[in-house]
Amino acid sequence: MLEIRGLVKIYPGPVAALQGIDLDIPVGMFGLLGPNGAGKSTFMRILAGLLEPTSGTVRWDGEDILSAPERVWPRLGYLPQDFGFYPHLSGEAMLEYLLRLKGITAPQGLKHLTRELLDRVNLSFAAKRKVKSYSGGMRQRLGIAQAIAGNPALLIVDEPTAGLDPEERLRFYRLLTELAQDRTVVLSTHIVEDVAVLCPRFAAIRDGRLVASTTPSAARAALHDAIFEGSVSDTELSELHRTRQVTQAILVEGRSRVRIRATRGNAPAGFEPVPVTLEDVYMVWMQDARAKENGDTRTANEEAAPR
């Protein structure tokens, strides 16, 4: 169990990247969801022991990560958002080099371990190919291979699916799900689908503040019967954005198909109740948080973020 209490990080400026995060993260997959610039990468770097917070504590199974991060590094795997490779090396040579840098040892030697890790992340077929020829998904799998070397009990992955095509993302989902069976995996993402597919529990943050910590099912249940969908013109869409809480607007056959938050009897004509998605919940949370920051409570007409 990861226990985070009062986590604050203020950069020179000052810029408050984290503003008092309290969070418990159990074994299994846990998602940290938020927009770009919300403080996710700062949070992940602190968990990995690579960045010192301004204040707060982080304990992993009772051990203080912040005071002596070197004691937990052997049990920790980390895939940062931007992971650098030497493009002229083969995947096999690159991975072996990373294992040497990390001080990983293996009874049958690093070459054997390298082949095992490439096989586990389904990259054996490309072991001899230069990294510069790898797709985005293949590079992410190579990054995961170095992160899981040594069989870490805690795996931290920062925006791992950003930029992946749908097929690569599905492959990566399956790999992360497998890895989360017997360890804690903390996944940061701005992609709602990542959380909906992978995470039994997740937290949402905005501007360094915790917005909610819950489960996908509980989050959707909190907005039960509160999401309505209808088709409108461009003029009507502008009015809806001004007077209603819009969670989604897409073009279908030249008209905007819009989802809004409302109560029964208060929805516009032509709008019908629809099943709640996690994206609906996320948009409501972010809009309510923005309204609260601006001192505007008009959109916060129902409690939608169970703790």
CATH number at residue 109: 3.40.50.300
Q: Are residues 9 and 134 in the same domain?
A: yes
Q: Are residues 62 and 156 in the same domain?
A: yes
Give a yes or no: residue 302 inside a domain: no
Give a yes or no: residue 180 inside a domain: yes
User: 254 exposed, middle or buried (CB, 10 Å; 0-12, 13-18, 19+)?
Assistant: exposed
Give a yes or no: residue 171 inside a domain: yes
Q: What does the pLDDT look like over 204-223, one tens digit per residue?
A: 999 999 999 999 999 999 99
Residue position matching structure tokens 């840098």: 101
Q: What is the pLDDT of residue 282?
A: 95
Give a yes or no: residue 303 inside a domain: no
Q: What is the pLDDT of residue 81?
A: 82
Q: Comparing C-alpha atoms, which of 163, 167, 143, 165 is closest to residue 155?
A: 143
Count of domains observed in the chain: 2
Q: What does the pLDDT look like over 175-194, one tens digit per residue?
A: 889 889 989 999 999 999 99
User: 276 exposed, middle or buried (CB, 10 Å; 0-12, 13-18, 19+)?
Assistant: buried
Q: Which of 191, 214, 237 is the last residue of a domain?
A: 214
Q: Which of 180, 198, 214 is the last residue of a domain?
A: 214
Q: What is the pLDDT of residue 305?
A: 40
Give a yes or no: residue 8 inside a domain: yes
Q: Are residues 111 and 10 in the same domain?
A: yes
The structure's pTM equals: 0.87
Q: Are residues 206 and 227 in the same domain?
A: no
Give a yes or no: residue 274 inside a domain: yes
Q: Are residues 135 and 170 in the same domain?
A: yes
Q: Are residues 141 and 264 in the same domain?
A: no
Q: What is the pLDDT of residue 57?
A: 94
The C-alpha atoms of residue 77 and residue 225 are separated, in whole angstroms, by 41
Q: Which two tokens stand for residue 24?
A: 């418990």
Q: Are residues 186 and 151 in the same domain?
A: yes
Q: Are residues 205 and 232 in the same domain?
A: no
Q: What is the pLDDT of residue 111?
A: 92
Q: What is the pLDDT of residue 304?
A: 39
The segments of the chain whose pLDDT lies below 70 read 296-307
Q: Are residues 172 and 39 in the same domain?
A: yes
**Domain residues for 209?**
2-214
Q: Are residues 172 and 225 in the same domain?
A: no
Q: Which of 214, 235, 269 is the last residue of a domain?
A: 214
Give a yes or no: residue 36 inside a domain: yes
Give a yes or no: residue 307 inside a domain: no
Q: Are residues 80 and 166 in the same domain?
A: yes
Q: Are residues 188 and 249 in the same domain?
A: no
Q: What is the pLDDT of residue 298?
A: 54
The C-alpha atoms of residue 278 and residue 100 are separated, in whole angstroms, by 42
Say which DSSP state 262 is in. -
